[in-house]
Structure 1
Amino acid sequence: MKTTEIEHSTIEKQAELARLIERFSSQDGVHATDISSLYFIRSSNTTVPIYQVHEPALCIVAQGKKVVMLAEESHHYGISDYLVVSVDLPISGQIIQASAEAPYLCLRLNFDPHQVLDLINEPACSANPSTGSRRGLYVSQTNLPLLDAVVRLVRLLENPQDVAVLAPLVIREILYRILQGNQGESLKQLVMTGSHSNRITEVIQRIKQDYDKPLRIEELSQLANMSPSSLHRHFKEVTAMSPMQYQKQLRLQEARRLLLSASADAADIGFQVGYESPSQFSREYARLFGLPPISDIKRLRRDQGHWSY
């Protein structure tokens, strides 16, 4: 197929994906589907930054634009790009292009790293453990084979009786296409047993499990089989932040969730997520979210627009 034909086919697939997402998400919000790992997101408006701990997933924007912040890094993506998050990361996401006439339309396909590990045992996807670590989030350019597989997955929703048998096969193809992409090596290294990146994912899971407890770098170093300095370096390569900064993000995002869902005192919530000083909790909360806890929660409840993208 000639370059111009590929470009034309890619544009057609992008338009078809937008039509399908709009069909299955007639209102703004996050929409679950009959495929348990597949979600559609629609918004008729741009948004303020929305904070979440993003689990491993592929995100493809079919219409509109978004920017994702990971620590101090900003990652922009729109209809010609896709986002891969390959390890649990605390991020903020902001829709920067959307309107009632042309709403933001996005597909999110969650995946289990074990699905990727199963694929890299195939000769076409094999990799060797790297001495370096790779970032757990990246944006890459969408290509026709990936778009074609994604559209076929969404089309399965038109025939629910086919989902149980065919969806796992198409999802496997989608993951294969990602691994074959120009940044697929990053995903390979994060799931490959023995790689530095994979050992950091084990540390991340421990920090998530014990986010409200004091951070013990020596224990984390032993878990990763690294020196403290090596752990710090590889952790920052994967997450763009130090273990302490990562834990702080987890604590503050969980505190915000608890404050939104309960009427508990802010100081009590601070203690609950691991802070020993109410003043330190309030100060760090304001630094991340822009306002102290009570003022921030009042703003969120007033706006009635806080939901996870």
Structure 2
Amino acid sequence: MGDWFEKQRRELLQIIEKFTLEDGTHDTQVPGLRLIRTSELSEPVYSVYEPSLCIVAQGSKVVMLGQEVYHYDPSSYLTASAHLPITGQVMEASRETPYLSLQILFDMNQILDIMQASGEAIRAKSEASRGLKVSRMQDTLLDAVLRLVKLIETPQDIPVLAPYVIREIIYRVLQNENNASLKQFAVIGSHAQRIAGVVERLNRDFAQPLRIDELAAEARMSASSLYDYFKEVTGMSPIQFQKHIRLQEARRLIFSRSINAAEAAFQVGYESPSHFSREYARMFGLPPVRDVRRLRSYLVDGITVSE
């Protein structure tokens, strides 16, 4: 990366640092723009990525989707095309040089609008690709992102200028050949768009029994096609995906509401508390009670987690 890129990156991280005085995820007045700061190496953080663009100004992060690992830093960026359960971990951060990043949420209507404005033929295709991508950062994209973040300093300009800059950012992302498949998640009737619909349903109805035939009928696919395309997009089978969502929600319930493990298990759809505890320990490394006790000890010690 050249001098111009480094100058832009430094200006970006200075603004993020200015508006994130404490560690954590900070919403801004710019719709869909979040700023993230972490001053220490994080424990693995389990969350669900929304369709979004994630950019690092300082530090680096690793994200796991299923068994796949995605690493990104200031020279790259990550795009998420669907609501996906991930495990994220900040790999470079300190009090002196905190991890600083941003996330820009987008929706598929914005992508369709840009495709139409570009005169691109909108055709549903029988293809689907992984819902996470890491791409090399480009000067034109960084320039647009910096202009969006700078609007935080002039909030009176946000209603007029932010929609146009966000539109440019999405356009720049779609220009990258690595993100060409992102367009199919926006095209109604495409295999990618239908799988995204199944993903949304599993995120919403995770506590309900998993009925593959019903999901396949809703997606207008055979059960075998649903399985294959779902795994192509998410890196997991539908049942593995549901398990991730259930366990993440159970962990949140136990931690934030102080309910016991058995009650959390029933709320997220498990019929057997012992089965739940085994799967919980397999995913998070410890049984529920010990895991939550460890999480609380990290908070007491001042260690925070981030998106």
The answer to whether the superposition gives a TM-score over 0.5 is yes
Offset at 1:306?
A: 5.0
Aligned: 1:251 with 2:246: yes
Equivalent residue, structure 2, for 1:3? none
Deviations 1:159-178 (A, max 9, x none): 11100111011001100100
Does the CA-based 8 Å contact 1:153-1:170 persist in structure 2?
Answer: yes
Secondary structure at 1:120 match in 2: helix
| CA distance 1:141–1:127, shift in 2 (3 Å) | farther
Q: CA deviation at 1:32?
A: 1.4
SS in structure 2 at match of 1:35:
coil
The residue identity in structure 2 corresponding to 1:283 is R
* 2:159 alignment partner in structure 1: 164
Q: Is the Cα contact below 8 Å between 2:64 and 2:88 reproduced in 1? A: yes
User: What SS does the aligned partner of 2:297 have?
Assistant: helix
Give 1:294's match in structure 2, choosing from 272, 289, 299: 289
Counterpart position of 1:71: 66
| CA–CA distance in structure 2, aligned partners of residues 204 and 241 of structure 1 | 11
2:229 matches 1:260: no
How far is 1:195 from its partner? Answer: 1.1
Q: Paired residue for 2:217, among 209, 218, 222?
A: 222
SS in 2 for 1:287: helix
Distance 2:153 2:120 in 1: 31
Shift of 1:134: 1.0
- Tell me if structure 2 keeps the 8 A contact 1:98–1:104: yes
Distance in 1 of aligned mates of 2:16 and 2:228: 40
Instruction: Kindly indicate whether the alpha-carbon contact (under 8 Å) linking 1:66 and 1:95 is maintained by their aligned counterparts in 2.
Output: yes
5+ residue gaps, structure 1? 1-5
Match of 1:91 among 81, 86, 92: 86
CA distance, structure 2, for counterparts of residue 126 and residue 299 of structure 1:
53
RMSD of aligned residue pairs (Cα, Å):
1.3
Match of 1:114 in 2: 109
Q: Secondary structure at the match of 2:40?
A: coil
Q: Which segment is superposed worse, 270-279 or 7-16?
A: 7-16
Whichever residue aligns with residue 275 of structure 2, its letter is Q
1:108 Cα deviation from its structure 2 partner: 0.8
User: Residue 255 of structure 1 aligns to which amino acid in structure 2?
Assistant: A
Distance apart, 1:23 and its partner CA:
1.4
Residue 122 of structure 1, CA deviation: 2.3
CA drift of 1:126 comes to 4.4
Give the TM-score taking structure 1 as reference length: 0.95
- Alpha-carbon offset, residue 33 of structure 1: 1.1
TM-score scaled by structure 2?
0.96
The answer to whether the aligner puts 1:24 opposite 2:19 as a matched pair is yes
Q: Are 2:156 and 1:174 equivalent residues in the alignment? A: no
Mapping of 1:181-220 within 5 angstroms?
181-220=176-215
Task: Measure the CA separation in 1 of the matches of 2:89 and 2:150.
Answer: 28
Contact 2:49 2:85 in 1 (8 A): yes
Q: What's the counterpart of residue 42 of structure 2? A: 47
Distance 1:44 1:206 in 2: 36
Aligned length: 304
Tell me which of the two structures has the higher relative contact order, counting C-alpha pairs closer than 8 angstroms and 6 or more residues apart.
2
Amino acid in structure 1 at the alignment position of 2:293 = K
* 2-structure distance, mates of 1:123, 1:107: 27
Secondary structure class of the residue paired with 2:21: coil
- The 1:248–1:59 alpha-carbon spacing in structure 2 relative to 1, beyond 3 Å, is same
> In the TM superposition, what whole-angstrom CA distance separates every residue of 1:39-94 from its partner, at most 9, and x where no partner exists?
11111111111000111111100000100000000000101000101100000110
Establish whether residue 35 from structure 1 lines up as the match of residue 30 from structure 2. Answer: yes
Preserved contact between residue 27 and residue 42 of structure 1 (Cα < 8 Å)? yes
Tell me how far apart the structure 1 counterparts of residues 120 and 86 of structure 2 sit (CA, whole Å): 29
Give deviations 1:85-127, integer Å, cap 9, x for gaps. 1100000110001112211110111112221122122235545
- Asked whether the equivalents of residues 38 and 305 of structure 2 are also in contact (C-alpha less than 8 Å), the reply is no
Structure 2, unaligned stretches of length 5 or more?
none
Structure-2 separation of matches of 1:237 and 1:308: 27
Match of 1:277 in 2: 272
Runs (4+) of structure 1 exceeding 4 A deviation are 124-127
